[in-house]
Amino acid sequence: MLRFDHLAVSALDLVEGVAWVEDALGTKLAGGGQHPHMATHNRLLGLGDLYLEVIAADPSAAKPAWPRWFDLDTFTGRPRLTNWIAGCDDLTAALRASPAGTGLPVALQRGDYRWQMAVPKDGKLPFDGGFPALIQWQGALHPARALPDCGLRLRRLDIAHPDADALRLLLAPLIQDDRFAIVKGQFAMRASFDTPSGLRVLE
Protein backbone atom coordinates (compact mmCIF):
# COMPACT_ATOMS: atom_id res chain seq x y z
CA MET A 1 0.00 0.00 0.00
CA LEU A 2 2.85 2.40 0.84
CA ARG A 3 6.24 2.93 -0.78
CA PHE A 4 9.32 4.84 0.30
CA ASP A 5 9.12 8.32 -1.28
CA HIS A 6 11.65 10.64 0.34
CA LEU A 7 13.52 11.77 3.46
CA ALA A 8 13.28 15.14 5.21
CA VAL A 9 16.06 17.03 6.97
CA SER A 10 14.67 19.87 9.08
CA ALA A 11 16.61 23.07 9.70
CA LEU A 12 16.05 26.45 11.34
CA ASP A 13 17.68 28.06 8.31
CA LEU A 14 17.63 26.54 4.83
CA VAL A 15 21.14 27.70 3.93
CA GLU A 16 22.52 26.13 7.11
CA GLY A 17 20.65 22.89 6.45
CA VAL A 18 21.87 22.66 2.86
CA ALA A 19 25.47 23.28 3.93
CA TRP A 20 25.23 20.55 6.57
CA VAL A 21 23.87 17.96 4.14
CA GLU A 22 26.33 18.88 1.39
CA ASP A 23 29.25 18.56 3.81
CA ALA A 24 27.99 15.27 5.24
CA LEU A 25 27.26 13.63 1.88
CA GLY A 26 29.94 15.26 -0.25
CA THR A 27 27.64 16.49 -3.02
CA LYS A 28 25.61 19.54 -4.03
CA LEU A 29 21.84 19.79 -3.70
CA ALA A 30 19.70 20.80 -6.67
CA GLY A 31 16.14 21.94 -7.22
CA GLY A 32 13.57 22.88 -4.65
CA GLY A 33 11.44 25.94 -4.08
CA GLN A 34 8.72 27.40 -1.90
CA HIS A 35 5.52 25.97 -0.40
CA PRO A 36 3.20 28.99 0.01
CA HIS A 37 0.50 27.09 1.94
CA MET A 38 2.97 26.02 4.62
CA ALA A 39 5.33 29.02 4.42
CA THR A 40 8.31 26.70 4.00
CA HIS A 41 11.01 26.28 1.38
CA ASN A 42 13.32 23.43 0.46
CA ARG A 43 16.26 22.12 -1.57
CA LEU A 44 16.48 18.60 -2.98
CA LEU A 45 18.91 15.77 -3.67
CA GLY A 46 18.20 12.81 -5.93
CA LEU A 47 18.69 9.29 -4.56
CA GLY A 48 17.59 7.21 -7.53
CA ASP A 49 14.01 6.13 -6.86
CA LEU A 50 13.93 8.39 -3.77
CA TYR A 51 15.02 11.89 -2.94
CA LEU A 52 16.06 13.89 0.10
CA GLU A 53 14.77 17.34 0.98
CA VAL A 54 16.16 19.94 3.33
CA ILE A 55 13.20 21.97 4.60
CA ALA A 56 12.85 25.06 6.79
CA ALA A 57 10.35 27.80 7.57
CA ASP A 58 10.48 30.48 4.86
CA PRO A 59 11.33 33.83 6.51
CA SER A 60 10.02 35.71 3.46
CA ALA A 61 6.50 34.31 3.96
CA ALA A 62 3.94 35.12 6.64
CA LYS A 63 3.49 32.41 9.23
CA PRO A 64 0.36 30.38 8.37
CA ALA A 65 -2.70 30.23 10.63
CA TRP A 66 -2.18 26.46 10.95
CA PRO A 67 0.81 24.41 12.14
CA ARG A 68 3.52 23.76 9.58
CA TRP A 69 4.24 20.18 8.57
CA PHE A 70 7.04 18.13 10.16
CA ASP A 71 6.45 20.07 13.40
CA LEU A 72 8.70 22.83 12.06
CA ASP A 73 7.08 25.44 14.33
CA THR A 74 8.72 23.85 17.37
CA PHE A 75 11.94 22.69 15.72
CA THR A 76 15.15 23.71 17.50
CA GLY A 77 18.82 22.82 17.36
CA ARG A 78 21.08 21.82 14.51
CA PRO A 79 19.89 20.53 11.14
CA ARG A 80 19.05 16.85 11.35
CA LEU A 81 17.09 14.03 9.78
CA THR A 82 13.59 14.22 11.26
CA ASN A 83 11.08 12.51 8.97
CA TRP A 84 10.45 10.03 6.23
CA ILE A 85 7.66 10.24 3.70
CA ALA A 86 5.77 7.32 2.15
CA GLY A 87 3.90 7.50 -1.13
CA CYS A 88 0.56 5.89 -1.91
CA ASP A 89 -1.99 5.67 -4.72
CA ASP A 90 -5.01 6.23 -2.46
CA LEU A 91 -4.40 8.63 0.39
CA THR A 92 -7.85 8.16 1.88
CA ALA A 93 -7.38 4.39 2.12
CA ALA A 94 -3.85 4.79 3.48
CA LEU A 95 -5.14 7.08 6.23
CA ARG A 96 -7.77 4.53 7.23
CA ALA A 97 -4.95 2.04 7.83
CA SER A 98 -2.78 4.54 9.71
CA PRO A 99 -2.79 5.55 13.39
CA ALA A 100 -4.86 8.47 14.64
CA GLY A 101 -3.11 11.78 14.17
CA THR A 102 -1.46 10.91 10.85
CA GLY A 103 -3.31 13.86 9.35
CA LEU A 104 -5.94 15.08 6.93
CA PRO A 105 -5.45 15.38 3.15
CA VAL A 106 -4.27 18.80 1.97
CA ALA A 107 -3.94 19.67 -1.74
CA LEU A 108 -0.57 21.30 -2.46
CA GLN A 109 1.60 22.39 -5.35
CA ARG A 110 5.08 23.69 -6.13
CA GLY A 111 5.70 24.72 -9.72
CA ASP A 112 4.46 21.93 -11.97
CA TYR A 113 4.24 19.43 -9.11
CA ARG A 114 0.84 18.63 -7.62
CA TRP A 115 0.19 16.37 -4.67
CA GLN A 116 -1.99 15.61 -1.68
CA MET A 117 -0.36 15.19 1.68
CA ALA A 118 -1.70 14.09 5.04
CA VAL A 119 -0.88 16.91 7.45
CA PRO A 120 -1.54 16.46 11.19
CA LYS A 121 -3.72 19.14 12.79
CA ASP A 122 -0.95 19.93 15.28
CA GLY A 123 1.93 19.31 12.86
CA LYS A 124 3.12 16.33 14.91
CA LEU A 125 3.20 12.90 13.26
CA PRO A 126 2.58 9.73 15.33
CA PHE A 127 5.53 8.13 17.11
CA ASP A 128 7.39 11.47 17.22
CA GLY A 129 7.71 11.34 13.43
CA GLY A 130 8.69 7.68 13.36
CA PHE A 131 5.48 6.98 11.45
CA PRO A 132 5.82 8.36 7.91
CA ALA A 133 4.09 11.38 6.47
CA LEU A 134 1.81 10.19 3.65
CA ILE A 135 1.85 11.64 0.16
CA GLN A 136 -0.06 10.98 -3.05
CA TRP A 137 1.41 12.56 -6.16
CA GLN A 138 -0.98 13.83 -8.81
CA GLY A 139 0.02 12.89 -12.37
CA ALA A 140 3.32 11.45 -13.60
CA LEU A 141 5.69 14.15 -12.36
CA HIS A 142 7.90 13.24 -9.40
CA PRO A 143 10.99 15.08 -8.10
CA ALA A 144 13.16 11.95 -7.99
CA ARG A 145 12.87 11.54 -11.76
CA ALA A 146 13.77 15.17 -12.46
CA LEU A 147 16.80 15.55 -10.17
CA PRO A 148 20.40 14.98 -11.33
CA ASP A 149 21.79 11.55 -10.48
CA CYS A 150 24.82 12.15 -8.25
CA GLY A 151 25.35 8.44 -7.64
CA LEU A 152 23.98 8.47 -4.09
CA ARG A 153 21.69 5.71 -2.89
CA LEU A 154 20.05 5.10 0.45
CA ARG A 155 21.49 1.96 2.02
CA ARG A 156 19.50 2.00 5.26
CA LEU A 157 17.27 4.16 7.42
CA ASP A 158 17.23 3.24 11.10
CA ILE A 159 14.33 4.64 13.11
CA ALA A 160 14.71 4.36 16.87
CA HIS A 161 11.68 4.73 19.13
CA PRO A 162 10.75 3.63 22.68
CA ASP A 163 7.62 1.95 21.25
CA ALA A 164 9.49 0.23 18.43
CA ASP A 165 7.40 -2.95 18.65
CA ALA A 166 4.13 -1.04 18.20
CA LEU A 167 5.51 1.01 15.33
CA ARG A 168 6.87 -2.09 13.62
CA LEU A 169 3.51 -3.83 14.00
CA LEU A 170 1.68 -0.89 12.41
CA LEU A 171 4.06 -0.63 9.46
CA ALA A 172 4.44 -4.34 8.69
CA PRO A 173 1.21 -4.66 6.62
CA LEU A 174 1.63 -1.24 5.01
CA ILE A 175 5.13 -1.20 3.52
CA GLN A 176 7.79 -3.73 2.62
CA ASP A 177 11.20 -2.18 1.98
CA ASP A 178 14.44 -3.64 3.31
CA ARG A 179 16.06 -0.20 3.37
CA PHE A 180 14.48 0.76 6.70
CA ALA A 181 14.48 -0.81 10.14
CA ILE A 182 12.70 0.00 13.41
CA VAL A 183 14.83 -0.34 16.54
CA LYS A 184 14.15 0.30 20.22
CA GLY A 185 15.61 3.43 21.80
CA GLN A 186 15.14 7.15 22.25
CA PHE A 187 13.60 8.63 19.12
CA ALA A 188 16.20 9.26 16.45
CA MET A 189 16.77 8.70 12.76
CA ARG A 190 19.99 7.62 11.07
CA ALA A 191 20.37 7.24 7.32
CA SER A 192 23.34 5.56 5.65
CA PHE A 193 24.13 6.26 2.00
CA ASP A 194 26.34 4.66 -0.59
CA THR A 195 28.14 7.50 -2.38
CA PRO A 196 30.95 7.77 -4.95
CA SER A 197 33.26 8.58 -2.03
CA GLY A 198 32.10 5.69 0.16
CA LEU A 199 29.61 5.29 2.98
CA ARG A 200 28.20 8.54 4.36
CA VAL A 201 25.71 9.08 7.22
CA LEU A 202 23.07 11.62 8.21
CA GLU A 203 21.47 11.62 11.67
Which CATH number covers residue 86?
3.10.180.10
Closest CA to 84 of 51, 132, 125, 152: 132
Q: Where are the beta strands (DSSP E) in 36-76?
A: 40-47, 50-57
**Does residue 155 lie in a domain region?**
no
Please tell me the total count of domains within the chain.
1
Residue 149's contacts (CB-CB under 8 Å, 6 or more residues apart) are 46, 48
Residues of the domain holding 13: 3-150
**Does residue 157 lie in a domain region?**
no
Torsions phi, psi for 200 (to 5 deg): -130, 155
> What pLDDT is recorded for position 111?
86
> What pLDDT is recorded for position 1?
86
pLDDT digits 0-9 by tens, 84-100: 999 999 999 999 999 99
Whole-model pTM: value is 0.96
**Does residue 182 lie in a domain region?**
no
**Does residue 192 lie in a domain region?**
no
> What pLDDT is recorded for position 58?
97
Query: What's the whole-number average pLDDT of the chain?
Result: 96
pLDDT digits 0-9 by tens, 180-201: 999 999 999 999 999 999 999 9
Residue 24: pLDDT over 90: yes
**Does residue 193 lie in a domain region?**
no
Residue 31: pLDDT over 90: no
Beta bridge partners of 88: none
**Does residue 47 lie in a domain region?**
yes
**Does residue 201 lie in a domain region?**
no
Tell me the pairing of strands 133-137 and 80-87. Answer: parallel
CA dihedral sign of residues 6, 56, 65, 126: positive
> What pLDDT is recorded for position 167?
98
Residue % of the chain over a pLDDT of 70: 100
What is the band of 126 on the pLDDT scale with cuts at 50, 70, 90? Answer: very high
What is the band of 110 on the pLDDT scale with cuts at 50, 70, 90? Answer: confident
87 close to 2: Cβ distance less than 8 angstroms: yes
Residue 3: pLDDT over 90: yes
Tell me the pairing of strands 80-87 and 3-10. Answer: antiparallel
**Does residue 197 lie in a domain region?**
no
